[in-house]
Amino acid sequence: MKIQLENISPDVRSSFRLLHNPKLNDLFFWHFHPEYELVYIEGANGTRHVGEHISAFEESDLVFIGSNIPHLNFDYGIQTAYKKEVLHIKESFKNKVFNEIPELSEIFRLFERSQHGIAFKGETKATVGHKLKALYGLPPFQQFLEVLHIFEILSESQEFVLLHEQPVFNKYNKKQQERLRRVYAHIDENYQRKIEVDEIASLCNLGKEAFCRYFKKATVSTFVSFLNQYRISQAKRLLLMGQHIGETGYDCGFDSLSYFNRIFKKVTGENPSSFIRKHKN
Protein backbone atom coordinates (compact mmCIF):
# COMPACT_ATOMS: atom_id res chain seq x y z
CA MET A 1 0.00 0.00 0.00
CA LYS A 2 1.39 3.40 -1.01
CA ILE A 3 0.87 6.81 0.52
CA GLN A 4 -2.47 8.10 -0.66
CA LEU A 5 -3.21 11.52 -2.09
CA GLU A 6 -6.84 11.39 -1.04
CA ASN A 7 -9.28 13.02 -3.45
CA ILE A 8 -12.11 14.53 -1.42
CA SER A 9 -15.29 15.85 -3.01
CA PRO A 10 -17.57 18.03 -0.88
CA ASP A 11 -21.11 16.78 -0.46
CA VAL A 12 -23.50 17.96 -3.13
CA ARG A 13 -25.01 21.35 -2.15
CA SER A 14 -22.47 21.73 0.67
CA SER A 15 -19.26 23.69 1.28
CA PHE A 16 -17.75 20.86 3.27
CA ARG A 17 -17.76 17.10 3.63
CA LEU A 18 -18.89 15.30 6.78
CA LEU A 19 -17.99 11.65 7.40
CA HIS A 20 -20.12 10.06 10.13
CA ASN A 21 -18.50 7.08 11.89
CA PRO A 22 -16.09 6.03 9.10
CA LYS A 23 -14.37 2.79 10.13
CA LEU A 24 -10.75 2.33 9.03
CA ASN A 25 -9.33 0.64 12.11
CA ASP A 26 -8.00 -2.35 10.14
CA LEU A 27 -6.26 -0.15 7.55
CA PHE A 28 -2.88 1.59 7.90
CA PHE A 29 -3.91 4.67 5.88
CA TRP A 30 -1.01 7.15 5.75
CA HIS A 31 -2.34 9.93 3.55
CA PHE A 32 -2.66 13.63 2.87
CA HIS A 33 -5.09 15.94 1.06
CA PRO A 34 -5.41 19.68 0.35
CA GLU A 35 -8.57 19.92 2.46
CA TYR A 36 -8.40 20.94 6.12
CA GLU A 37 -9.54 18.18 8.45
CA LEU A 38 -11.20 18.31 11.85
CA VAL A 39 -11.39 14.82 13.36
CA TYR A 40 -13.05 13.67 16.59
CA ILE A 41 -12.81 10.15 17.96
CA GLU A 42 -14.51 8.94 21.14
CA GLY A 43 -14.53 5.79 23.23
CA ALA A 44 -11.04 4.43 22.60
CA ASN A 45 -7.34 4.85 23.26
CA GLY A 46 -5.19 5.21 20.17
CA THR A 47 -2.22 6.78 18.45
CA ARG A 48 -2.12 10.32 17.09
CA HIS A 49 0.32 10.45 14.15
CA VAL A 50 0.29 13.79 12.33
CA GLY A 51 3.30 14.82 10.28
CA GLU A 52 6.35 14.13 12.43
CA HIS A 53 4.32 14.06 15.65
CA ILE A 54 3.45 10.77 17.37
CA SER A 55 1.65 10.52 20.71
CA ALA A 56 -1.04 8.49 22.43
CA PHE A 57 -4.53 9.76 23.13
CA GLU A 58 -6.84 8.47 25.85
CA GLU A 59 -10.61 7.92 25.56
CA SER A 60 -11.11 10.69 22.98
CA ASP A 61 -9.25 13.07 20.69
CA LEU A 62 -10.05 16.25 18.76
CA VAL A 63 -7.45 17.39 16.22
CA PHE A 64 -7.45 20.05 13.51
CA ILE A 65 -5.06 19.20 10.66
CA GLY A 66 -3.86 21.74 8.10
CA SER A 67 -3.76 21.39 4.33
CA ASN A 68 -1.59 18.59 2.90
CA ILE A 69 -0.15 17.47 6.24
CA PRO A 70 0.41 13.69 6.04
CA HIS A 71 -1.37 11.81 8.82
CA LEU A 72 -2.46 8.33 9.86
CA ASN A 73 -6.12 7.50 10.37
CA PHE A 74 -6.82 8.01 14.08
CA ASP A 75 -8.69 4.74 14.52
CA TYR A 76 -5.92 2.51 13.16
CA GLY A 77 -5.47 -0.59 15.32
CA ILE A 78 -8.40 0.12 17.65
CA GLN A 79 -10.21 -3.09 18.56
CA THR A 80 -12.93 -1.71 20.84
CA ALA A 81 -16.16 0.11 20.00
CA TYR A 82 -15.70 3.79 19.16
CA LYS A 83 -17.34 6.77 17.46
CA LYS A 84 -15.65 8.99 14.90
CA GLU A 85 -16.57 12.19 13.07
CA VAL A 86 -14.49 13.75 10.29
CA LEU A 87 -15.09 17.18 8.76
CA HIS A 88 -13.25 18.31 5.60
CA ILE A 89 -13.12 21.96 4.51
CA LYS A 90 -11.79 23.00 1.11
CA GLU A 91 -8.72 25.23 1.05
CA SER A 92 -10.50 27.62 -1.32
CA PHE A 93 -13.30 28.07 1.22
CA LYS A 94 -10.76 29.22 3.79
CA ASN A 95 -9.25 31.78 1.43
CA LYS A 96 -12.46 33.03 -0.19
CA VAL A 97 -14.70 33.14 2.87
CA PHE A 98 -12.75 33.23 6.13
CA ASN A 99 -10.13 35.58 4.67
CA GLU A 100 -12.60 37.95 3.02
CA ILE A 101 -15.15 38.48 5.80
CA PRO A 102 -13.80 40.62 8.69
CA GLU A 103 -16.08 38.97 11.26
CA LEU A 104 -14.42 35.62 10.47
CA SER A 105 -10.82 36.82 10.80
CA GLU A 106 -10.21 34.80 13.99
CA ILE A 107 -11.35 31.65 12.20
CA PHE A 108 -8.98 32.44 9.34
CA ARG A 109 -6.12 32.68 11.86
CA LEU A 110 -7.20 29.34 13.33
CA PHE A 111 -6.88 27.78 9.88
CA GLU A 112 -3.43 29.32 9.47
CA ARG A 113 -2.41 27.89 12.85
CA SER A 114 -3.69 24.44 11.85
CA GLN A 115 -0.54 23.99 9.73
CA HIS A 116 1.13 23.11 13.04
CA GLY A 117 -1.54 20.49 13.75
CA ILE A 118 -3.71 21.36 16.77
CA ALA A 119 -4.96 18.98 19.48
CA PHE A 120 -7.79 20.40 21.58
CA LYS A 121 -8.54 19.29 25.13
CA GLY A 122 -10.76 19.93 28.13
CA GLU A 123 -14.18 21.51 27.79
CA THR A 124 -13.43 22.54 24.20
CA LYS A 125 -12.94 18.94 23.16
CA ALA A 126 -16.12 17.81 24.90
CA THR A 127 -18.26 20.65 23.53
CA VAL A 128 -17.03 20.43 19.94
CA GLY A 129 -17.15 16.64 19.98
CA HIS A 130 -20.81 16.78 20.97
CA LYS A 131 -21.55 19.32 18.24
CA LEU A 132 -19.77 17.27 15.57
CA LYS A 133 -21.82 14.19 16.48
CA ALA A 134 -25.00 16.27 16.20
CA LEU A 135 -24.18 17.58 12.70
CA TYR A 136 -25.21 14.39 10.96
CA GLY A 137 -28.83 14.58 9.88
CA LEU A 138 -29.23 18.35 10.20
CA PRO A 139 -30.60 20.28 7.21
CA PRO A 140 -27.79 21.78 5.04
CA PHE A 141 -28.23 25.38 6.23
CA GLN A 142 -28.28 24.34 9.89
CA GLN A 143 -25.16 22.25 9.29
CA PHE A 144 -23.43 25.28 7.79
CA LEU A 145 -24.29 27.49 10.77
CA GLU A 146 -23.15 24.81 13.22
CA VAL A 147 -19.85 24.36 11.37
CA LEU A 148 -19.22 28.11 11.65
CA HIS A 149 -20.09 27.95 15.35
CA ILE A 150 -17.70 25.01 15.85
CA PHE A 151 -14.83 26.93 14.28
CA GLU A 152 -15.76 30.02 16.30
CA ILE A 153 -15.42 27.96 19.50
CA LEU A 154 -12.08 26.54 18.37
CA SER A 155 -10.75 29.96 17.34
CA GLU A 156 -11.50 31.38 20.81
CA SER A 157 -10.25 28.39 22.81
CA GLN A 158 -7.00 28.35 24.77
CA GLU A 159 -7.37 24.62 25.51
CA PHE A 160 -5.02 23.30 22.85
CA VAL A 161 -1.49 22.17 22.11
CA LEU A 162 0.38 22.59 18.84
CA LEU A 163 1.73 19.30 17.50
CA HIS A 164 4.71 20.94 15.76
CA GLU A 165 6.74 23.98 16.76
CA GLN A 166 6.91 25.13 13.15
CA PRO A 167 4.15 24.98 10.52
CA VAL A 168 4.22 21.82 8.42
CA PHE A 169 4.22 22.09 4.65
CA ASN A 170 4.32 18.96 2.54
CA LYS A 171 7.53 19.67 0.65
CA TYR A 172 8.28 16.09 -0.38
CA ASN A 173 7.46 14.57 -3.73
CA LYS A 174 5.45 11.38 -4.09
CA LYS A 175 8.58 9.19 -4.14
CA GLN A 176 9.87 10.69 -0.89
CA GLN A 177 6.46 10.39 0.74
CA GLU A 178 6.24 6.75 -0.31
CA ARG A 179 9.66 6.13 1.22
CA LEU A 180 8.51 7.60 4.54
CA ARG A 181 5.31 5.57 4.38
CA ARG A 182 7.32 2.36 3.97
CA VAL A 183 9.41 3.27 7.01
CA TYR A 184 6.35 4.06 9.15
CA ALA A 185 4.53 0.91 8.05
CA HIS A 186 7.60 -1.25 8.76
CA ILE A 187 7.93 0.25 12.23
CA ASP A 188 4.24 -0.37 12.91
CA GLU A 189 4.51 -4.00 11.84
CA ASN A 190 7.82 -4.76 13.60
CA TYR A 191 8.25 -2.45 16.63
CA GLN A 192 7.85 -5.43 18.98
CA ARG A 193 11.22 -6.82 17.90
CA LYS A 194 14.70 -5.37 17.42
CA ILE A 195 14.88 -3.23 14.26
CA GLU A 196 18.31 -2.46 12.83
CA VAL A 197 19.02 0.78 10.98
CA ASP A 198 20.59 -1.26 8.16
CA GLU A 199 17.30 -3.10 7.75
CA ILE A 200 15.34 0.13 7.29
CA ALA A 201 17.99 1.63 5.02
CA SER A 202 17.77 -1.42 2.76
CA LEU A 203 13.98 -1.06 2.67
CA CYS A 204 14.49 2.46 1.30
CA ASN A 205 17.24 1.39 -1.14
CA LEU A 206 19.74 3.61 0.65
CA GLY A 207 23.02 3.05 2.42
CA LYS A 208 23.02 3.37 6.21
CA GLU A 209 24.61 6.83 6.34
CA ALA A 210 22.49 8.15 3.47
CA PHE A 211 19.34 6.86 5.16
CA CYS A 212 20.26 8.48 8.49
CA ARG A 213 20.80 11.84 6.77
CA TYR A 214 17.56 11.49 4.83
CA PHE A 215 15.49 10.49 7.87
CA LYS A 216 16.90 13.27 10.06
CA LYS A 217 16.13 15.84 7.36
CA ALA A 218 12.62 14.46 6.78
CA THR A 219 11.56 14.09 10.43
CA VAL A 220 13.98 16.32 12.40
CA SER A 221 14.70 13.21 14.47
CA THR A 222 17.14 10.34 14.43
CA PHE A 223 15.68 6.99 13.49
CA VAL A 224 16.38 5.55 16.95
CA SER A 225 14.64 8.47 18.67
CA PHE A 226 11.65 8.20 16.35
CA LEU A 227 11.40 4.44 16.93
CA ASN A 228 11.58 4.88 20.71
CA GLN A 229 8.88 7.55 20.59
CA TYR A 230 6.63 5.23 18.60
CA ARG A 231 7.27 2.33 20.99
CA ILE A 232 6.46 4.49 24.01
CA SER A 233 3.18 5.65 22.43
CA GLN A 234 2.23 1.98 22.04
CA ALA A 235 3.38 1.23 25.58
CA LYS A 236 1.15 3.97 26.99
CA ARG A 237 -1.82 2.46 25.18
CA LEU A 238 -1.10 -1.00 26.65
CA LEU A 239 -0.56 0.37 30.16
CA LEU A 240 -3.90 2.18 29.99
CA MET A 241 -5.48 -1.16 29.08
CA GLY A 242 -4.12 -2.61 32.35
CA GLN A 243 -1.13 -4.58 31.05
CA HIS A 244 1.79 -5.15 33.45
CA ILE A 245 4.78 -2.81 33.10
CA GLY A 246 7.34 -5.55 32.49
CA GLU A 247 5.18 -7.31 29.91
CA THR A 248 4.49 -4.00 28.18
CA GLY A 249 8.17 -3.17 27.87
CA TYR A 250 9.00 -6.48 26.21
CA ASP A 251 5.90 -6.35 24.00
CA CYS A 252 7.04 -2.97 22.70
CA GLY A 253 10.52 -4.08 21.70
CA PHE A 254 12.60 -3.17 24.77
CA ASP A 255 15.02 -5.93 25.76
CA SER A 256 15.20 -4.99 29.45
CA LEU A 257 12.88 -3.42 32.01
CA SER A 258 15.50 -0.87 33.09
CA TYR A 259 15.97 0.34 29.49
CA PHE A 260 12.19 0.57 29.03
CA ASN A 261 11.84 2.63 32.22
CA ARG A 262 14.68 4.93 31.19
CA ILE A 263 13.31 5.59 27.68
CA PHE A 264 9.74 5.96 28.98
CA LYS A 265 10.87 8.68 31.39
CA LYS A 266 12.99 10.36 28.70
CA VAL A 267 10.04 10.55 26.30
CA THR A 268 7.21 11.32 28.76
CA GLY A 269 8.95 12.95 31.72
CA GLU A 270 7.70 10.29 34.14
CA ASN A 271 8.24 6.59 34.78
CA PRO A 272 5.60 3.96 33.88
CA SER A 273 4.43 3.57 37.49
CA SER A 274 3.77 7.30 37.83
CA PHE A 275 1.97 7.31 34.49
CA ILE A 276 -0.34 4.51 35.63
CA ARG A 277 -1.05 6.14 39.02
CA LYS A 278 -1.86 9.48 37.41
CA HIS A 279 -4.35 7.96 34.99
CA LYS A 280 -6.04 5.76 37.59
CA ASN A 281 -7.00 8.83 39.61
Domain ranges in the chain? Answer: 4-162, 174-280
Closest C-alpha among 211, 203, 174, 172 to residue 186:
203
- The structure's pTM equals 0.71
The pLDDT confidence band at residue 2, using thresholds 50, 70 and 90, is very low
Confidence of residue 26 (pLDDT cuts 50, 70, 90): low
Q: What is the mean pLDDT of residues 209-215?
A: 92
Looking at the structure, give the CATH architecture of the domain made up of residues 174-280: Orthogonal Bundle (1.10)
Interval 50-87: pLDDT, tens = 988 888 888 999 999 999 888 888 888 788 888 999 99
Distance CA 91, CA 55 (A): 27
* DSSP H or E run through 53: strand 53-57
- Under a CB-based contact definition with an 8 Å cutoff, are residues 160 and 120 in contact? yes
Q: Could you tell me which residue, 155 or 174, shows the higher pLDDT?
A: 155
User: What DSSP character marks residue 11?
Assistant: P
Q: Considering the domain 4-162, what is its CATH architecture?
A: Sandwich (2.60)
The 10 Å Cβ neighbour count of residue 220 is 13
